[in-house]
Amino acid sequence: MFQDVEVFVKEWATPNPGPSSGNIEPTGPFEVESMDFVTHRPKSERWNKFLLLFQNMFTGYVMCKPMRSTTAQDCAEAYEEVVFRNYGANSEIRHDRDPRFMSRVFRRFSEMMGI
């Protein structure tokens, strides 16, 4: 799993020195977070076969959560555990419009927080 993260960071998580694609650039750490899955991995010893990545768009800092499934509930719990508990709520969360990241995830997170 470590090698998968290392390859992803080297190939995909490097900052783009070009102009912004139209998104507002973050002005501080943990203001804007991006989320994405690495899928189709062999099962680990703990039966995890997905890797949920969170990248801080200001610093480039990457946090990973190995996961067994990609349900809305699991994504919400992973965000709470990896990002929210350590750094608080982000102003914006960017994703690739994957159905797992649509409103169900954030609805579940709101329910977990009692909002």
Residue 63 falls within a domain, yes or no? yes
pLDDT number for residue 82: 93
Residue 29 falls within a domain, yes or no? yes
Residue 19 falls within a domain, yes or no? no
Q: Cβ(80)–Cβ(109) under 8 Å?
A: yes
pLDDT number for residue 100: 57
Residue 20 falls within a domain, yes or no? no
Looking at the structure of the chain, the number of domains it has is: 1
First to last CA, the chain: 35
pLDDT number for residue 65: 93
Residue 91 falls within a domain, yes or no? yes
pLDDT number for residue 39: 83
Q: How many CB atoms lie within 10 A of CB 19?
A: 6
pLDDT number for residue 86: 92
Residue 53's domain comprises: 2-14+25-113
pLDDT number for residue 90: 85
Strands ordered across the beta sheet of 50-56? 62-67, 50-56, 32-38, 92-94
Dist CA 10 CA 12 (whole Å)? 6
* CATH code of 91's domain: 3.30.420.10
The pLDDT profile of the chain, 115 residues, written as one tens digit per residue, is 777 777 776 776 555 555 555 666 888 888 888 888 888 888 888 888 999 999 999 999 999 999 998 888 888 899 999 999 999 888 888 877 666 566 777 777 778 877 7
Closest CA to 93 of 79, 74, 112, 108: 79
